[in-house]
């Protein structure tokens, strides 16, 4: 956490200890708490190019993604005669959606919060899922996106930065294609959502600046407390509620408002946006040092992105170095790095603990065995040159040891 966000969080918690009111209550203590919550929402909106009424505060990016993807599909279905937006039209699994169900499209390298929601909508018969392919470099194939947008889905979701590889996705081009699909029924064309959790703080993120219909952020990525996040959704984007409750926050996200979390998130968002250019430049230098430091010391190492022998390839976010070490046992590699004091993972933190083949790498066309060899080294606000030097020292030996274990396992 950022110290400033932690201090703001603690200050608000101290008010609650002293008897702060429920921000949904009409008494004086409740009104005072509501004012602080509204101020926090206004600050987030101002930093991210939105109106305060368009900020829906959540427990994190995962919930925000679900509210947007499922909410948009249910709202689209609600427009059909006799089909309420929240109705479950099928209790079974599989491809239960009928041919007239709304379509929800997303890229094949979305965070599990998005792609699982899309697939579950189809399994529950609420929508038809369209998973858009990526190339071998992990970047969305725009011709496939254009075809899908031409079929006028209820929503298309494309992440700003892949949570695993760090590949920057062509969100601006997707928005352009979506706006070209405008007609009398939908003057803005096809609604576009992006999960900007990995982008905020290192790339420009703005609801109106990028002409998006919705975007998601997660608090922990920018130094806010765990359990904070937000969905920013334009007023004219129809979202049906995913659950019931007291109808707070546009009736999309019910529940008692978390004033402490909102205040801390607002502080973190403002600092992340203000520091963005400096952070991106510093992380870019560290990333270059890390890649050049390990490139020649590990035989067969493959770096995802515009590195080594592919300088013309895709852009990668400066805070992520994703590599593949063919032949290395993934468990042995992580254990060796952990013993050296290096905290790394095979993918995003949300999938750590399940060391199967990476869905992202499978979508990029890698084999089942090669899709188990990914390693994600991520850097952030507190990363130093000494941290990078430690990885450069430790990774070659860790890779050698992991390959020995992999060779033994292969012979077995």
Catalytic residue among 68, 106, 162, 350: 350
pLDDT tens digits for range 399-410: 999 999 999 877
- What does the alpha-carbon distance between residue 283 and residue 381 come to, in Å, rounded to a whole number? 8
- Position 84 pLDDT exceeds 60: no
Which residue reads 């405008």 in tokens? 182
Q: What is the pLDDT of residue 95?
A: 53
Q: What is the pLDDT of residue 88?
A: 34
Q: Which pair of structure tokens corresponds to residue 273?
A: 């946006």
- Position 127 pLDDT exceeds 80: yes
Higher per-residue confidence, 307 vs 344: 344
Task: Find the mean pLDDT for residues 308-318.
Answer: 68
pLDDT tens digits for range 327-337: 999 999 999 99
Q: How confident is the model at residue 393 (pLDDT cuts 50, 70, 90)?
A: very high
Task: Find the mean pLDDT for residues 210-224.
Answer: 98
Q: How confident is the model at residue 310 (pLDDT cuts 50, 70, 90)?
A: very low
* Residue 65 backbone zone (phi > 0: left; psi -120 to 50: alpha; other: beta): alpha
Q: 374 — phi, psi (to 5°)? A: -80, 150
End-to-end CA distance of the chain: 45
Q: What is the pLDDT of residue 375?
A: 95
pLDDT tens digits for range 259-282: 999 999 999 999 999 999 999 999
Instruction: Say if CB 45 and CB 235 are below 8 A apart.
Output: no
For the chain, give the mean pLDDT: 90
Of the listed ranges 66-80, 203-217, 239-253, 378-392, the least confidently predicted one is: 239-253
pLDDT tens digits for range 158-170: 999 999 999 999 9
Q: How confident is the model at residue 83 (pLDDT cuts 50, 70, 90)?
A: very low
Higher per-residue confidence, 268 vs 90: 268
Which residue reads 């792609």 in tokens? 115
- Position 192 pLDDT exceeds 50: yes
- Position 326 pLDDT exceeds 70: yes
pLDDT tens digits for range 4-62: 999 999 999 999 999 888 888 889 999 999 999 999 999 999 999 999 999 999 999 99
Q: Is 68 a catalytic residue?
A: no
- Position 93 pLDDT exceeds 90: no
Share above pLDDT 90 across residues of the chain, in percent, rounded to a whole number: 78
Instruction: Give strand pairing partners of 320.
Output: 378
Q: What is the pLDDT of residue 355?
A: 59
Domains delineated in the chain: 3-274 (3.40.640.10), 276-411 (3.90.1150.10)
Task: Find the mean pLDDT for residues 153-159.
Answer: 98
pTM of the model: 0.91
């Amino acid at each position: 956490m950022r110290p400033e966000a932690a201090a703001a969080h603690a200050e608000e918690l101290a008010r609650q200890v002293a008897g702060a009111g429920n921000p949904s209550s009409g008494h004086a203590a409740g009104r005072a708490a509501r004012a602080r919550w509204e101020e926090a929402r206004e600050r987030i909106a101002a930093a991210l190019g939105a109106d305060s009424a368009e900020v829906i505060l959540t427990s994190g990016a995962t919930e925000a993604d679900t509210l947007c993807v499922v909410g948009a599909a249910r709202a689209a279905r609600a427009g059909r005669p006799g089909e309420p937006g929240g109705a479950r039209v099928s209790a079974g699994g599989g491809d239960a959606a009928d041919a007239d169900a709304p379509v929800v499209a997303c890229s094949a390298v979305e965070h599990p919060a998005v792609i699982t929601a899309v697939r579950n909508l189809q399994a529950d018969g609420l929508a038809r899922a369209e998973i858009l392919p990526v190339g071998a470099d992990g970047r969305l194939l725009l011709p496939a996106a254009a075809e899908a947008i031409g079929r006028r889905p209820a929503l298309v979701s494309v992440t700003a930065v892949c949570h695993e590889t760090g590949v920057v996705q062509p969100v601006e081009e997707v928005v352009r294609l979506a706006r070209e699909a405008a007609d009398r029924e939908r003057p803005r064309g096809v609604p576009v959502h992006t999960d900007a959790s990995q982008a905020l703080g290192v790339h420009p993120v703005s609801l109106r600046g990028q002409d998006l219909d919705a975007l998601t952020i997660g608090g922990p990525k920018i130094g806010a407390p765990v359990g904070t996040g937000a969905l920013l959704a334009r007023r004219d984007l129809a979202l049906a509620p995913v659950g019931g409750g007291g109808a707070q926050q546009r009736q999309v996200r019910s529940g008692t408002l978390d004033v402490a979390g909102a205040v801390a998130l607002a502080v973190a968002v403002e600092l992340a946006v203000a520091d963005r250019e400096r952070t991106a430049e510093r992380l870019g230098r560290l990333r270059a040092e890390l890649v050049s430091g390990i490139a020649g010391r590990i035989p067969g190492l493959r770096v995802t992105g515009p590195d080594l022998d592919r300088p013309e390839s895709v852009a990668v976010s400066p805070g992520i170095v994703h590599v593949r070490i063919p032949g290395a046992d993934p468990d042995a590699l992580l254990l060796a790095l952990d013993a050296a004091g290096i905290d790394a993972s095979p993918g995003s933190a949300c999938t750590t603990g399940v060391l199967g083949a990476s869905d992202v790498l499978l979508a990029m066309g890698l084999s089942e065995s090669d899709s188990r060899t990914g390693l994600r080294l991520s850097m952030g606000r507190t990363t130093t040159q000494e941290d990078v030097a430690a990885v450069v020292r430790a990774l070659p030996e860790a890779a050698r040891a992991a390959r020995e274990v992999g060779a033994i396992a292969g012979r077995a």
